[in-house]
């Protein structure tokens, strides 16, 4: 492959230098076990990082010369009294190469950007354009802090900003199919861009919910599958990472569609991820696709399908050997049984879920499962009891989920409180339901999720006959005002 021309003054590729200090700190633990410790430490300080064995390997090999700020806080929490350089990392200003980049606030708002520049205004009607006042942070928000090398920055920004056409151009592909003789090699930088897109989408979803993110997230997904179609990986391990990254991206985009009420589109994305898993022979990706498909089937009222897909996911997950993954899939199965009104089968599935969950986290836990902790366990049990019509029991679990949930993760906090409000309304506690509903309304400025809006609508419908109860009338007025503005 001919070497590409370089812009004068652009940083040249730097050879990676291993980080022996970080390796010594890991000690006798495997990379997977150490990644689990990192995720646990993150939860202790209210951070959420998607750390896995591959990330630890990239740090130790020197590929990651300086972590992003979230990882920095976690590492300094794990090793108090030390600095990043004490942990074997390079100084941030050295990694960035050209010193601090101007933040968005440093650029005059009226200074136009050249056409084609990431962040420049798009023509009206162009997919992915931003600018709606109060909208959640778009995927195209520039990220000055990246844990991948400067050399990968162009590829990452192509996925996060420019969508498939820009990404294809960055890789030497046009928008049309590429003849075999013109295909370009796909390497670590391109795969890292796909993996970074997955992490970025998950982070924004945790903050804001699926509404408003889905259309933007579909662009990097198309770019990832364009790589699969028109690129050739230099190594088998790179090809496996690309398939896994594209499949995880399909699931993430499918979840955004699911959360924003686009069930048919979500089902299509999950099916795409499942097909990718089967082609790649990746049981972890297959289990993830079945897990989300079961969740979607339950929400769509296809309860028998929810049971069967959860069972299929458990079959695939046995190869992953992650108790937490088996616990989540057992909870998905329980939700399907609850929708069918089969209390006995639901309780059996819940018992299995508790047994798996009690075994604790493991180094084999998939990266995407960082959200699955005790609050989610409680919330999924609440949904089961709610489906079985045991509202008071459901409310107890939902209250515990809302109490345990870290307040920094706004979307799940709003979701758990919405579940609590709905269950309390049906359990005959209208005043408590109204109070919980008001807490959800207070979060709607930060969260855009059709699922949460639908749950609030159900709560309001259940409370209208009790308008005279304490606090209910005020809640209904505030809810109706918020619904009108939406």
Q: Could you write out the three-class secondary structure of the chain? A: CCCCCCCCCCCCCCCCCCCHHHHHHHCCCCHHHHHHHHHHHHHHCCCCCCCCHHHHHHHHHCCCCCCCHHHHHHHHHHCCCCCCHHHCCCCHHHHHCCCCCCCHHHCCCCCCCCCCCCCCCCCCCCCCCCCCCCCCCCCCCCCCCCCCCHHHHHHHHHHHHHHHHHHHHHCCCCCCCCCHHHCEEECHHHHHHHHHHHHHHHHHHHHHCCCCCHHHHHHHHHHHHHHHHHEEECCHHHHHHHHHHHHHHHHHHHHHHHHCCCHHHHHHHHHHHHHHHHHHCCHHHHHHHHHHHHHHHHHCCCHHHHHHHHHHHHHHHCCCCCHHHHHHHHHHHHHHHHHCCCHHHHHHHHHHHHHHHCCCCCCCCCHHHHHCCHHHHHHHHHHHHHHCCCHHHHHHHHHHHHHHCCCCCHHHHHHHHHHHHHHHHHCCCHHHHHHHHHHHHHHCCCCCCHHHHHHHHHHHHHHHHHCCCCCHHHHHHHHHHHHHHC
Alpha carbons 382 and 396: distance in angstroms, whole number: 8
Nearest to 416 by CA among 434, 391, 437: 437
Count of CB atoms situated within 10 Å of the CB of 472: 22
**Which residues sit opposite 233 in a β-bridge?**
186
pLDDT score for 51: 86
CA distance 263 to 158: 28
Dist CA 391 CA 384 (whole Å): 10
For residue 241 the two structure tokens come to: 């990472």
Separation between Cα atoms, residue 439 and residue 443, nearest integer Å: 7
Averaged over successive runs of 10 residues, the pLDDT of the chain (486 residues) comes to 39 67 91 89 78 88 85 88 89 55 36 32 34 35 34 37 40 40 63 80 62 68 76 70 87 87 90 91 95 95 96 96 97 98 98 97 89 94 97 97 87 92 96 95 81 90 94 93 75
Neighbouring C-alpha atoms within 13 Å toward the C-beta of 76:
15
Is residue 422 within 8 Å of residue 386, measured between CB atoms?
Answer: yes
Is residue 336 within 8 A of residue 294, CB to CB? The reply is: yes
Q: What CA–CA distance (Å, rounded) separates 71 from 56?
A: 11
Token look-up 């939902």 returns 398
CA atoms within 13 A on the CB side of 130: 19
Q: What is the pLDDT of residue 177?
A: 37
Number of neighbours of residue 272 by Cβ within 10 angstroms: 20
CA distance 94 to 151: 14
CA end-to-end span of the chain, whole Å?
Answer: 53
Q: List Cα–Cα distances, 72 to 34, 200, 423, in angstroms.
A: 15, 17, 40
Q: Which of 144, 148, 143, 146 is nearest to 58 (CA)?
A: 148
Read off the tokens for 43.
């939860």
* Residue 415: closest CA among 295, 263, 303, 304: 295
| Contact of 248 with 288, CB cutoff 8 Å | yes
Per-residue pLDDT tens for 362-408?
989 998 898 899 999 999 999 999 999 999 999 999 999 999 998 87
**How confident is the model at residue 206, as a pLDDT?**
55
Contact 435, 400 (CB under 8 A): no
How far is Cα 152 from Cα 158, in angstroms, rounded to an integer?
Answer: 10
């Amino acid at each position: 492959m001919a070497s590409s021309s370089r812009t004068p003054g652009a940083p040249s590729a730097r050879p990676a230098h291993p980080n022996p200090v970080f390796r010594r700190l890991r000690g006798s633990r495997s990379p997977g076990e150490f990644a689990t410790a990192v995720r646990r430490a993150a939860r202790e300080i209210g951070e959420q990082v998607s750390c896995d064995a591959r990330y630890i390997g990239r740090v130790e090999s020197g590929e990651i010369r300086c972590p992003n700020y979230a990882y920095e806080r976690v590492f300094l929490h794990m090793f108090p009294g030390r600095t990043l350089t004490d942990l074997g990392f390079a100084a941030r200003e050295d990694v960035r190469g050209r010193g601090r980049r101007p933040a968005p606030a440093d650029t005059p708002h009226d200074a136009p950007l050249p056409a084609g520049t990431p962040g420049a205004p798009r023509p009206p009607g162009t997919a992915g354009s931003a600018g709606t006042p109060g909208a959640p942070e778009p995927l195209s928000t520039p990220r000055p802090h990246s844990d991948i090398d400067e050399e990968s920055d162009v590829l990452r920004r192509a996925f996060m900003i420019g969508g498939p056409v820009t990404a294809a151009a960055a890789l030497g592909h046009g928008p049309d199919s590429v003849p075999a003789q013109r295909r370009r090699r796909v390497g670590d930088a391109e795969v890292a861009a796909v993996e970074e897109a997955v992490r970025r989408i998950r982070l924004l979803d945790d903050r804001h919910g699926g509404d408003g993110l889905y259309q933007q997230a579909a662009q990097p997904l198309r770019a990832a599958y364009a790589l699969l179609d028109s690129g050739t990986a230099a190594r088998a391990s790179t090809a496996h990472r690309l398939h896994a990254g594209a499949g995880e991206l399909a699931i993430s985009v499918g979840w955004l569609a699911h959360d924003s009420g686009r069930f048919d589109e979500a089902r299509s994305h999950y099916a795409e991820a499942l097909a990718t898993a089967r082609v790649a022979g990746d049981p972890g990706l297959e289990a993830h696709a079945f897990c989300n498909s079961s969740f979607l089937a339950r929400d769509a009222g296809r309860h028998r399908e929810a049971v069967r897909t959860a069972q299929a996911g458990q079959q695939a997950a046995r190869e992953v050997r992650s108790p937490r993954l088996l616990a989540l899939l057992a909870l998905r199965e329980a939700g399907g049984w609850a929708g069918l009104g089969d209390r006995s089968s639901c309780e059996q599935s819940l018992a299995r879920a508790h047994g798996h969950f009690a075994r604790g986290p493991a180094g084999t836990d998939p990266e995407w499962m960082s959200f699955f902790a005790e609050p989610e366990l409680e919330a999924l049990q609440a949904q089961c009891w709610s489906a079985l019509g045991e509202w008071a029991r459901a409310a107890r679990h939902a209250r515990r989920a809302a109490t345990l949930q870290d307040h920094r993760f706004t979307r799940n906090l709003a979701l758990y409180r919405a579940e609590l409000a709905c269950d309390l309304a049906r359990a005959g506690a209208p005043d408590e339901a109204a109070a919980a509903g008001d807490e959800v309304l207070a979060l709607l400025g930060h969260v855009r999720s059709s699922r949460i809006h639908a749950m609030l609508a159900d709560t309001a419908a259940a409370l209208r006959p009790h308008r005279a109860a304490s606090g209910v009338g005020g809640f209904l007025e505030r809810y109706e005002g918020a619904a009108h503005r939406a």
